[in-house]
Structure 1
Amino acid sequence: MSVTHPMYNTIALVVRPNTTGIEEPVRDVINFLKQGGYSVVLESDTAEHLGITDIPSMSVQGIGERADAVVVMGGDGTMLGIARQLAAYDTPLIGINQGRLGFMTDIRQEDMLPVLGRILGGTHKAERRTLLEGRVMRDGKAIFFGTAVNDVVVSRGAGAGMVELSVDVDNQFMYNQRSDGLIISTPTGSTAYALSAGGPLLHPTLGGIAMVPIAPHALSNRPIVLPDSSEIVIELKRGKDITVNFDMQTFASAATGDQIHIRLSPHTITFLHPEGWSYYNTLREKLHWNEYPSTDGKI
């Protein structure tokens, strides 16, 4: 959707730590926002890493409760981390790319100030994304809980053999699987690890959950897309050093007999994109999707 009236007053800034040369662009953004009449706050870790003391700082919880929007300067990993933490507050996120790929941090640094001004002025495209939530159950008790914007990944340890998994969906047996692991992905995550493992691209607005095996023993074990209303239970039958990863940022160690329960999170996240933003254009630019190989000018 596009809107054309101001909506935001307090803007929080989150910056990827240890980014060479980031101090000057951060100051540019802060000064631009202050000159525009916005109240600016920094996420606590950002303020500490950059040594900025003249701008108020607050915790992620404080940002969720008080900020009208969050500007993230970093890569997709930075965006994933803060998006999971802010999901319960439904705070809109704006990404300025300081990473490599920039699927979710889609504003180029050289364009950031005029584009940011237009977005905060109300001229933007808002896009809502789903998340997954999962818990690791052992002997009937939850030992770990996590959320994921991209994916939940059950995988074997380094140097270990295959894992054996039993998968149920909505209390119905789906299959037993021997593989290096299993990726349970949101549409957002379909362009991440799931894609490299041979999974399908899912449009972000699609209500689906992709299950993509990692190096399955059976060649017939193919990815499948489930309704996002599905309740997925993965039981660990055999394997060593098994881990359960949420967006590859938080993880739990699991053991034979554990169950991982995965479902759609009740929360969503909202990205604010520049007007004219296109998911298909992002695929072409970031993944070189559907490009013909070079023919040196010959057809």
Structure 2
Amino acid sequence: MHFNTVALIGRYQDSGLDTPLRRLGAVLQALGCKVLIEAETGRNTGVTDFPLADYTAIGQQADLAIIMGGDGTMLAAARRLATTNVAMIGINHGRLGFITDIPLDSADEAITGILNGAYVEDERVLLEGRVLRGNQEMASGLALNDVIINRAGRGGMIELKVECNGVFMHSQRADGLIIATPTGSTAYALSAGGPILHPQVNALVLVPVAPQTLSNRPITLPEDSHLNITIRALGRVESGASVHFDMQALSNCQEGDQIVVRRSPHRVRFLHPQGYSYFSTLRSKLNWNRMLHPWDDPDETSR
């Protein structure tokens, strides 16, 4: 794979982002790449050393996008570039960084290696969802992590009817329901008690949020499942219900609204440095075995 044009996208709300962006741009130019900077990133950080480009132009011109920020920045960029063939690299300038996996202090070396062909490619599935009120589509969106239906304010639980491929699964009263991809299984779904799905597992996971009946447990479904969730009752919820696509919210859902979720035909391509291991990421981010047997951890013994 040849990366002739590389776009830089950053979490421009972060102070001090201009310096690493400029340094990385210089590294890319030294490697012979044409560098673009996402327009809002450039304008808000003051980095105008490179041509500005909106997401449409990045999708048309770039071979690779490098995202500098946290997982939220990567999620937003992935949704915007999902219909293109632009590969993506994540540099962690945030907190946890499950999908922005390259540490900032080793970014120059890692990017140089990737551009020289030393990388691992990783495809991730997306969800597409629609909110229907009768025959009217109220909203739609893509999600790399999850689609979430939950109560929008204080008060009682909401009641949801869940169907899979046209077959009734169950009705449940809960604070909400999470439909997560393997990528999203380490996000809100994990906090709500769901399982971790390896990215190569072709599955989705449904995780209830604080269900009234404790026997309502997470369930893993085939990746090609078509889900239809109907809001049957809002109980005493004061502000109605809301639907989130990767935490981007549509509020004021009503009783009878349907949320239709299925796998998107588009996928996101992540590139990682040579030697990348998903299990190493889990060990690092979830502190697995840190206090037990550090000599068993290759991340520790290699230091």
Q: Same-fold call, TM > 0.5? A: yes
Task: Give the residue type in structure 2 aligned to 1:103.
Answer: F
* Residues 98-138 of structure 1: per-residue CA shift (max 9 Å, x gap): 00001111111111111100111111000000000000000
Match of 2:115 in 1: 120
2:183 is aligned with 1:188: yes
Distance 1:51 1:292 in 2: 43
Distance 1:265 1:25 in 2: 34
Retained in 1: the 8 A contact 2:63–2:85?
A: no
Shift of 1:90: 2.5
Q: How large is the Cα RMSD of the aligned pairs?
A: 1.4
Shift of 1:156: 0.3
Match of 1:129 in 2: 124
Distance 1:104 1:53 in 2: 27
2:105 is aligned with 1:110: yes
Distance 2:250 2:278 in 1: 29
Task: Give the residue type in structure 2 aligned to 1:285.
Answer: S
Retained in 2: the 8 A contact 1:81–1:249?
A: no
Unaligned runs of 5+ in 1: 1-5, 295-299
Match of 1:274 in 2: 273
* Residues 34-79 of structure 1: per-residue CA shift (max 9 Å, x gap): 1111000011111110123331111101101110000000000000
Alignment TM-score, normalising by the size of structure 1: 0.94
Aligned residues: 290
2:263 is aligned with 1:264: yes
Match of 1:245 in 2: 244
3-state SS, counterpart of residue 217 of structure 1: coil
Shift of 1:292: 5.3
Alignment TM-score, normalising by the size of structure 2: 0.93
Distance 1:218 1:190 in 2: 22
Distance 2:122 2:247 in 1: 23
Distance 1:179 1:52 in 2: 46
Match of 2:27 in 1: 32
Distance 1:100 1:52 in 2: 23
3-state SS, counterpart of residue 114 of structure 1: helix
Match of 1:224 in 2: 219
CA distance change for structure 1 residues 235 and 290 in 2, over 3 Å: closer, same or farther? farther
Match of 1:297 in 2: none
Retained in 1: the 8 A contact 2:82–2:268?
A: yes
Distance 1:172 1:231 in 2: 10
Task: Give the residue type in structure 2 aligned to 1:208.
Answer: A
Retained in 1: the 8 A contact 2:18–2:46?
A: no
2:77 is aligned with 1:82: yes
Retained in 2: the 8 A contact 1:90–1:267?
A: no
Shift of 1:160: 2.4
3-state SS, counterpart of residue 170 of structure 2: strand
Match of 2:166 in 1: 171
CA distance change for structure 1 residues 264 and 252 in 2, over 3 Å: closer, same or farther? farther
Retained in 2: the 8 A contact 1:10–1:68?
A: yes
Distance 1:53 1:43 in 2: 10
2:210 is aligned with 1:215: yes
Retained in 1: the 8 A contact 2:241–2:252?
A: yes
CA distance change for structure 1 residues 9 and 288 in 2, over 3 Å: closer, same or farther? same
Structure 1 stretch displaced more, 74-83 or 232-241:
232-241
Distance 1:86 1:115 in 2: 22
Distance 1:192 1:265 in 2: 19
3-state SS, counterpart of residue 272 of structure 2: strand
Retained in 1: the 8 A contact 2:152–2:251?
A: no
Match of 1:148 in 2: 143
2:193 is aligned with 1:198: yes
Distance 2:269 2:259 in 1: 27
Distance 1:265 1:185 in 2: 13
Distance 2:228 2:137 in 1: 13
Match of 2:16 in 1: 21
Distance 1:282 1:179 in 2: 32
* Identity of matched residues, %: 47
Task: Give the residue type in structure 2 aligned to 1:165.
Answer: L
Unaligned runs of 5+ in 2: 294-303
CA distance change for structure 1 residues 290 and 208 in 2, over 3 Å: closer, same or farther? farther
Give 1:19-98 correspondences, 5 Å limit. 19-98=14-93
3-state SS, counterpart of residue 89 of structure 1: coil
